Structure 1
């Protein structure tokens, strides 16, 4: 059974890939942005965002 708890960047990244594979690119991008934000290495964060192209969908208030 799969856990629905997201505690690590890899959890968000795995879910983003699943959503991308199922034809939900917008949701995939949002999860990829969260994975990127939770990644301490800037090169890894950039790589994650490059895997899911598009502009930022996050709203920062």
Structure 2
């Protein structure tokens, strides 16, 4: 099945799937992208709180 990632909810669904299958680091990265695509700061914070593993992103 081909997935389309057009909305924050698409990334959040994928993050939950990765968490459920034992891939917490990938889940966190997907959750971070979902949070970045969320306009409401409190909702973005809630998303990140759901996936507490530390970020693996590198900022340049």
TM-score by length of 1: 0.89
Q: Which structure 1 residue ranges, 5 or more long, are not aligned?
A: none
Q: How many residues align?
A: 60
1:20 maps to which residue?
19
CA distance in 2, matches of 1:25, 1:38: 20
SS at match of 1:4: coil
Q: Which structure 2 residue ranges, 5 or more long, are not aligned?
A: none
TM-score by length of 2: 0.91
Which runs of at least 4 in structure 1 moved beyond 3 Å after TM superposition? none
